[in-house]
Chain A
Amino acid sequence: MGMMGTGVTGAGGRRLLGAAAFLLAGVFALVPARAIEIQRVVSPGGVEAWLVEDHTNPIISVRFSFDGGAALDPEGREGLAEMVSSLLDEGAGDLDSQAFQRRLEDLAVRLRFDAGRDTFGGHLRTLTKNRDAAFDLLRLALTAPRFDDEPVSRIRDQILAGLRRDQENPNTIASRTLLRALFPDHPYGRPVGGTPESITAITTGGLKRFVKQRLARANVAIGVVGDITPEVLARLLDSTFGGLPERAAPGRVPETKPAASNEIIVVTKPVPQSAIVFGQEGIKRDDPDFYAAFVMNYVLGGGGFTSRLYGEVREKRGLAYSVYSSLYPLDRAALILGGAGTANARVAETLSVVREEWRRLAAGGLTVNELADAKTYLTGSFPLRFTSSGRIASMLVGMQRDNLGIDYLERRNSYIEAVTLDDVNRVARRILRADRLIVVVVGEPDGVTSVR
């Protein structure tokens, strides 16, 4: 959906009386953890899942994630994990592709898989009445996918068509170019979705090997939310995941640091609006300064209609519809990324405003008020992440992958509260290096050329 609506500008002055009074109510009594009770369920066979029981609706959401994603795709076979993710529901066990899909439809079950740089995951959504059959389809997809010739060739053609479409999209071209520039010699620099050559080179043997080697009991995190008891879940965990091998084949992505240079890469495309993306080294999820960086990024470009980038680029100057920054921690590296879309004639101005904001935050830090506002937003909005069972299930998986502990929800806001102005300003100086920002522009920008 992207950014919508509109926004925000500094102006000061008149205030709605009632609203001003509300401003004082800064501290949130509300802790979502109270409403969201997480249980650790371990099956007799040793498969673990985190569960939030909720019997309000006859719905069960399951989210799971295996360690090891596209970064482990073999050289020249980029897109392998992605292609597997599109094929696991295209025939498994005795069911060919159409039979499997028909079964999903008739049970009103949604089953999807997805590949990231570090993970291979998926989600299952079912009505309670079709619960056992739904979990059984997941079992089949994970343990007995068929990879018949017809679906393999069909999905390959669909992925290739998607890659052709990507070539029409300046944002996609920009992101791929930026990742390649940040990680020139590392798997993170390779496209998750592959290339026409690599997708064409993937064989059925390679797809089968992926399933055999990567999907295992020891490297999966599972989150379940909805109308199911721990007892029933324990049984289904064994029947669903118990058939997987104990351990995945060894495969490790090396630790790395992204390239840092004052670089502009222009990719010429005939479009009226240039897609701009930029990035540099960020901060990892387990870094002690992660929460300080999280607060910093909110102020810089993470906060919807109130961030500095939003105010300077969009509100004051009307340079872009969308402008943002975000932390992008990976398992073996970390980035801070940002982007904007600007008419070709105004790219140079947008870039100079972005760099200036980068410098200003690194040099001057946050104001006391900015810090306070960021904290009340980040703590107060936390419960808004718990508004659907699928989102909660994803959070349960994320908490396990990041080793945050089962009581994380109760502690999370205290981590935000504990961030001091010194913390934020230290981390801003550490991360935000305007002179080492790699910038990619896709379009026909006036007066901007590639600089290395």
Chain B
Amino acid sequence: MRVRLRRAWPAACALALLLLAPGPEGSAGAGVFDPETFTLKNGMAVVVIPNHRVPVVTHMVWYKVGSADEPPGKSGTAHFLEHLMFKGTRKLASGEFSRILARNGGRENAFTSHDYTGYYQSIAVDRLEMVMEMEADRMTNLVFDAKEVEPERQVIFEERRNRTGNNPSALLAEHVNATLYLNHPYRRPIIGWEHEIRGLTIADLMSFYRRWYVPNNAILVVAGDITAEKLRPLAEKTYGRIPAAPARPRVRPGEPPHRAARRVTLKDPRVRQPSWSRTFLAPSYTEGATEHVYALQVLAEILGGATGPLYRSLVVEQKLAVSAGAYFEPDRLGPGTFGFYASPRPGVSMEKLEAAMEAELARVVDKGVTGKEARRAKGRLQAEAVYARDSLGTGARVLGGALAIGLTVEDVESWPERIGAVTVPEINAAARDVLGQAASVTALLLPADKG
């Protein structure tokens, strides 16, 4: 499993954000990844990202379905199914996929998020067809065998203990989510609630698979030593043979207006270093006041980082915190989030830390940002788009993730220009809109009371 909530790890957020929202250096005409695209007759979208450094490819299939598409009471279905995709099909015994792949020098994995589920392999380009054949096979021929499902359920419980049960800050993050979203299924953990994972039946998993794992709900992304011309015949004779299924809309409950500020506190005897966070509901690329979405990325870049006002004020100057920053998550099919976090130095009360953070937030909302801050932040973001071209996997991840939430290749390719076009008044308006909300979720992670 994995594309979990990136916010569990604030330090990684800025980077993750960039990776999910990349672009190039805005040199006129040049795109970020310069992909080629086509669509198979059955509706499966195909994206090819040439990168000829070594004769290998990364092959990914993204399904436009994630944990937020699960029926009520069935949390964990999308992720459980992802695990079962490594079991047998009508043509291959359980584990054969992985064994064949490994024998051919391939590496693989898979991930589940709120909005999509993905499977990927990296392998020598001359083995690509074999991989496509096997991936197409498990799109339709998966076998659900109780003898395989039950041990895997135990594995998932271990995964949940590993990620959440053993980690107080992940436990708190789960509660923050469940509090932030009043009605939207983003309130449920991607891996699922333990009692609901326990109750999932083979029928639940199978019907989810049948409904969503169809070619017209999937995106094929291949990055590496390949061209669209060479890929097209392979795609047609593997995925292209699978018939399209009736299109099923993704219907999800939406959020009502938020009126009340909420607080979540976890006191856990394991905690040695307290932390504080505040999360606001925000627009995403696809929902809410989408006109703010690029301005908010620049705002997060200004506020976060080693020379941003939060770190400078709370960590360097006032010496109240060991860390402080901000992040924005716009890459969602539903509502996005804008968040702040800080962790106190010894002897600094949480009240004092919160007051200092609130003063910085109020300053941003009241006074806004400067032209210089905006220029610097935009330059950094645009540079990340150049760096994004370097690694084989980045373009595949970015484009697959974008298409899976309904964005276009053009949205990704023009990201640097759109970032470049953001103005100071736009940033300030977006800051007022999002950070000026009274209804946020403030979370405290604290050691247990003594005695």
A and B: bona fide binding partners: yes
**Do A6 and B85 form a contact, CB below 8 Å, given A30-B124, A321-B159, A321-B162?**
yes
**Do A384 and B150 form a contact, CB below 8 Å, given A11-B94, A271-B270, A321-B162?**
no
Q: What CA separation (Å) do A22 and B313 show in the bound complex? A: 60
Asked if residues B92 and A22 are in contact (CB atoms below 8 Å), the reply is no
Which single member of B95, B127, B322 contacts A158 (CB below 8 Å)?
A: B322
**Do A8 and B104 form a contact, CB below 8 Å, given A161-B322, A341-B161?**
no
A52 to chain B, nearest CB (A): 10
Asked if residues B103 and A35 are in contact (CB atoms below 8 Å), the reply is no
Instruction: Name the CB-closest residue of B to A8.
Output: B95
Q: What CA separation (Å) do A16 and B100 show in the bound complex? A: 10
Asked if residues B307 and A384 are in contact (CB atoms below 8 Å), the reply is no
Q: Is A45 positioned at the interface, with any CB of B under 8 Å from its CB?
A: no
Instruction: Name the CB-closest residue of B to A153.
Output: B319
Flag B316-329 by CB within 8 Å of A: 1 or 0 each. 10010011000000
Asked if residues A377 and B96 are in contact (CB atoms below 8 Å), the reply is no
Q: How many residues of A contact B (CB 8 A)?
A: 93
Which single member of B108, B124, B166, B272 contacts A165 (CB below 8 Å)?
A: B272
Which single member of A4, A17, A29, A57 contacts B1 (CB below 8 Å)?
A: A4
Which residues of chain B have C-beta atoms less than 8 A from A164's C-beta? 272-273
Q: What CA separation (Å) do A114 and B56 show in the bound complex? A: 30
Q: What CA separation (Å) do A273 and B162 show in the bound complex? A: 7
Asked if residues B126 and A30 are in contact (CB atoms below 8 Å), the reply is yes
**Interfacial residues of chain B within 131-175, with CB under 8 A of chain A in the complex:** 133-134, 137, 148, 150-159, 161-162, 165-168
Q: What CA separation (Å) do A35 and B124 show in the bound complex? A: 13
Q: What CA separation (Å) do A265 and B126 show in the bound complex? A: 49
Asked if residues B122 and A384 are in contact (CB atoms below 8 Å), the reply is yes
A212 to chain B, nearest CB (A): 26
Q: What CA separation (Å) do A146 and B134 show in the bound complex? A: 57
Asked if residues B100 and A10 are in contact (CB atoms below 8 Å), the reply is no
B356 to chain A, nearest CB (A): 16
B159 to chain A, nearest CB (A): 4
Instruction: Name the CB-closest residue of B to A56.
Output: B53
Which single member of A6, A158, A390 contacts B155 (CB below 8 Å)?
A: A6
Asked if residues B124 and A319 are in contact (CB atoms below 8 Å), the reply is no
**Interfacial residues of chain A within 1-32, with CB under 8 A of chain B in the complex:** 1, 4-19, 22-23, 25-26, 28-30, 32
Instruction: Name the CB-closest residue of B to A125.
Output: B387
**Do A306 and B102 form a contact, CB below 8 Å, given A6-B84, A18-B130?**
yes
Asked if residues A320 and B155 are in contact (CB atoms below 8 Å), the reply is yes
Asked if residues B84 and A387 are in contact (CB atoms below 8 Å), the reply is no
Asked if residues B165 and A271 are in contact (CB atoms below 8 Å), the reply is yes
Q: What CA separation (Å) do A259 and B307 show in the bound complex? A: 47
Q: Which stretch from A95-103, A186-194, A285-293, A396-404 is at the chain B interface? A: A95-103
**Interfacial residues of chain A within 190-211, with CB under 8 A of chain B in the complex:** none
Which residues of chain A have C-beta atoms less than 8 A from B306's C-beta? 101, 104-105
Q: What CA separation (Å) do A105 and B312 show in the bound complex? A: 14
Q: Is B451 positioned at the interface, with any CB of A under 8 Å from its CB?
A: no
**Interfacial residues of chain B within 359-418, with CB under 8 A of chain A in the complex:** 376, 379-380, 383-384, 386-387, 389-393
Q: Is A112 positioned at the interface, with any CB of B under 8 Å from its CB?
A: no
Q: Is A243 positioned at the interface, with any CB of B under 8 Å from its CB?
A: no
Q: Is A132 positioned at the interface, with any CB of B under 8 Å from its CB?
A: no
Q: What CA separation (Å) do A330 and B443 show in the bound complex? A: 43
Flag B337-350 by CB within 8 Å of A: 1 or 0 each. 00000010110000
Asked if residues A105 and B305 are in contact (CB atoms below 8 Å), the reply is yes
Which single member of B84, B272, B393 contacts A167 (CB below 8 Å)?
A: B272
**Do A57 and B161 form a contact, CB below 8 Å, given A6-B110, A306-B98?**
no
Q: Is A305 positioned at the interface, with any CB of B under 8 Å from its CB?
A: yes
Instruction: Name the CB-closest residue of A to B301.
Output: A105
A84 to chain B, nearest CB (A): 18
Asked if residues A383 and B387 are in contact (CB atoms below 8 Å), the reply is no
Instruction: Name the CB-closest residue of B to A59.
Output: B390
Asked if residues A273 and B376 are in contact (CB atoms below 8 Å), the reply is no
Asked if residues B345 and A383 are in contact (CB atoms below 8 Å), the reply is no
Asked if residues A387 and B380 are in contact (CB atoms below 8 Å), the reply is no
Which single member of B54, B122, B161 contacts A343 (CB below 8 Å)?
A: B161
Q: Is B2 positioned at the interface, with any CB of A under 8 Å from its CB?
A: yes
Which single member of A1, A7, A30, A303 contacts B55 (CB below 8 Å)?
A: A30
Flag A88-119 by CB within 8 Å of B: 1 or 0 each. 00000000011001101110100000000000
Asked if residues A321 and B93 are in contact (CB atoms below 8 Å), the reply is no
**Interfacial residues of chain B within 266-290, with CB under 8 A of chain A in the complex:** 269-273
Asked if residues A341 and B158 are in contact (CB atoms below 8 Å), the reply is yes
Q: Is A251 positioned at the interface, with any CB of B under 8 Å from its CB?
A: no
Which residues of chain B have C-beta atoms less than 8 A from A304's C-beta? 98, 102, 107-109
Asked if residues B379 and A373 are in contact (CB atoms below 8 Å), the reply is no
Q: What CA separation (Å) do A377 and B122 show in the bound complex? A: 12
**Do A379 and B105 form a contact, CB below 8 Å, given A105-B376, A273-B162?**
yes
Q: Which stretch from A213-221, A231-239, A310-318 is at the chain B interface? A: A310-318
Asked if residues A381 and B106 are in contact (CB atoms below 8 Å), the reply is yes
Asked if residues B387 and A316 are in contact (CB atoms below 8 Å), the reply is no
Q: What CA separation (Å) do A97 and B270 show in the bound complex? A: 34
Q: What CA separation (Å) do A203 and B104 show in the bound complex? A: 53
**Interfacial residues of chain A within 37-73, with CB under 8 A of chain B in the complex:** 54, 56-59, 61
Q: Is B111 positioned at the interface, with any CB of A under 8 Å from its CB?
A: yes
Which residues of chain B have C-beta atoms less than 8 A from A320's C-beta? 155, 158
Asked if residues B162 and A387 are in contact (CB atoms below 8 Å), the reply is no
Asked if residues A273 and B158 are in contact (CB atoms below 8 Å), the reply is yes
Asked if residues A9 and B94 are in contact (CB atoms below 8 Å), the reply is yes
Which residues of chain A have C-beta atoms less than 8 A from B25's C-beta? 58, 127
Instruction: Name the CB-closest residue of A to B375.
Output: A106
B97 to chain A, nearest CB (A): 8
Q: What CA separation (Å) do A323 and B122 show in the bound complex? A: 22
Flag A351-387 by CB within 8 Å of B: 1 or 0 each. 0000000000000000000000100111111111011
Q: Is A150 positioned at the interface, with any CB of B under 8 Å from its CB?
A: yes
Asked if residues A10 and B54 are in contact (CB atoms below 8 Å), the reply is no
Asked if residues A273 and B165 are in contact (CB atoms below 8 Å), the reply is yes
Which of B126, B165, B387 is packed against the most chain A CB atoms within 10 Å?
B387
Q: Is A342 positioned at the interface, with any CB of B under 8 Å from its CB?
A: yes
Q: Is A272 positioned at the interface, with any CB of B under 8 Å from its CB?
A: yes
Asked if residues A36 and B137 are in contact (CB atoms below 8 Å), the reply is no
Which residues of chain B have C-beta atoms less than 8 A from A5's C-beta? 1, 82-83, 86, 108-111, 119
The 3 closest A-B pairs by CB, nearest first: A380-B105, A318-B154, A108-B383
Please name 25 pairs of A and B residues whose Cβ atoms are closer than 8 Å in the assembled complex, sorted by A. Answer: A6-B83, A6-B86, A6-B87, A7-B98, A14-B90, A15-B93, A18-B133, A30-B126, A35-B55, A57-B386, A105-B306, A105-B380, A108-B383, A157-B346, A168-B273, A304-B108, A305-B102, A343-B161, A373-B99, A377-B102, A377-B103, A378-B105, A380-B105, A381-B106, A383-B55
Besides the contacts A16-B89, A377-B104, what 18 more A-B pairs have beta carbons closer than 8 Å? A5-B86, A6-B85, A8-B99, A16-B133, A19-B100, A19-B133, A22-B104, A23-B100, A25-B104, A106-B380, A108-B387, A161-B323, A273-B158, A318-B155, A321-B155, A373-B103, A384-B123, A387-B392
